Chain A
């Protein structure tokens, strides 16, 4: 164990889709209750790495990992780790808002319901508290029994975050959560990330350099499946160590 208690760690992590190696010898340690941004050009492996953190790649045929991924110092790729338990701890928000074609309320409490929680009062309380955390409560409190698909794109994405919060995870993974949203909705989500990092460890993949600069405490730059550089966001954006990082964040390629 390292001196410091890291929330998420990868040690000598390699990942493959069939014979294609998507991640090469990744070593990284992310702090608790901080925002870590993954940046890099398309196909660099940042999304793949994000999805190894809650084992969302498990269902992809031919995908396999070597090395270790640790959550709170515990290996997550072992036989005795149950994927559903892991995902209660590590929530995820996707690129395109993907609410279920059900009511707003049903969306928020889905994670609790599949755990077998039926108590109406408890579900209602959980729904309200999650929706308040995402600043959505006032906007949707009269529409809880309306279809979630009737909400705007930005509201849908905040609903997806509320849905993830409802099962009380400690980590939230965000895969380009604002790339399908307009600037105002994007600003709201970024504001939300600032709020959430008081209680949650957040990992966000983004194509938007300014966004990484605005929301994250530390940034990891991936290129061709390798982790090129990992540093405090301020340090990386002012004095990157590697030329590649420099070129990417100044927009010379990507």
Chain B
């Protein structure tokens, strides 16, 4: 075997290895999906979506859970988006590159890596006890907002950074103020990127159970929340609760609820992809 043959062989070997590595992720996901769908798909019907939780698996539904999840999503969006986008805009456009800004930057990146259960503890103490919100929807949404704020800030900054300097120059040179430039040029041009970031951060928030369990969201809520101060449950907690029961029927319920949760996540990610493509087409430099 010549040297060239050996090299070619190595090349081939690495290609095969690469394909293998790439497919591991896909295969695991596929097996997981197939398993869940086989187990839970037949359980999903109108009753399952509109029934309250019950001690009997066949009568239990996820009505309170998915309504709670939607509530949490909406409240979290209302709280986290303005804060995160404003912070991102400030850091990128306004703050001078001082040591303080540097310090802030590093710490925001660090915050994104803090385990979610720690946010739960913070939320329990700050929102639950000190602000007296207890295990309410509002406490949950505030906690999840803290959790996704760093992600929103970082993606907002990335999106804003991608707007070319020349666009800002053009706006300033026409007498625009910083705010006018940000509002009329920078934000519209980075809108797609910002939306993508915040939707992805929402789809993370949707899947969180740990911090909400800590702040006291309940597994058994026999009513649908109607205001932000109501107690609530969400899909991940419902799933967690069902999987920890001994009866096999509840596992089927859990599988069905997982399908619904995945559906919500996929829809959110789909919207993110759609927005990204749509806005990338519109804004070309």
A interface vs B, CB < 8 Å?
Answer: 54, 56, 59, 61, 84-85, 87-88, 91-92, 94, 96, 98-101, 110-111, 114-115, 149, 160, 163-164, 167
Cα distance A85–B174 when bound, in Å?
10
- A-contact bits for B154-177, CB 8 A (1 contact / 0 none): 000000000010110111111111
Residues in A with CB closer than 8 Å to B282 are 101
Known: A61-B96, A100-B185, A101-B189. A94 touches B170 (CB 8 A): yes
- Whether the pair A100, B170 counts as a contact (CB closer than 8 A) is yes
Q: Total interface residues on B, using CB and 8 Å?
A: 23
Cα distance A164–B166 when bound, in Å?
15
Residues in B with CB closer than 8 Å to A87 are 172-175
Q: Return the contact of A91 from the options B167, B174, B189 (Cβ within 8 A).
A: B174
Q: How many A-B residue pairs have CB under 8 A?
A: 66
- Whether the pair A54, B173 counts as a contact (CB closer than 8 A) is yes
Nearest opposing residue in chain B for A88, CB measure: B175
- Whether the pair A110, B174 counts as a contact (CB closer than 8 A) is yes
List, sorted by A's number, 15 A–B pairs whose CB atoms are closer than 8 Å. Answer: A56-B172, A84-B176, A85-B175, A87-B173, A92-B173, A94-B170, A98-B164, A98-B170, A101-B167, A101-B188, A110-B174, A111-B175, A115-B175, A149-B284, A149-B285
- Whether the pair A61, B189 counts as a contact (CB closer than 8 A) is no
Q: Return the contact of B176 from the options A85, A101, A114, A164 (Cβ within 8 A).
A: A114
Cα distance A92–B175 when bound, in Å?
10
The answer, yes or no, to whether B180 is at the interface (CB within 8 Å) is: yes
- Whether the pair B177, A84 counts as a contact (CB closer than 8 A) is yes
4 A-B pairs with the lowest CB-CB distances in the bound complex, closest first: A111-B174, A98-B166, A92-B173, A87-B175
Cα distance A149–B180 when bound, in Å?
21
The answer, yes or no, to whether B283 is at the interface (CB within 8 Å) is: yes
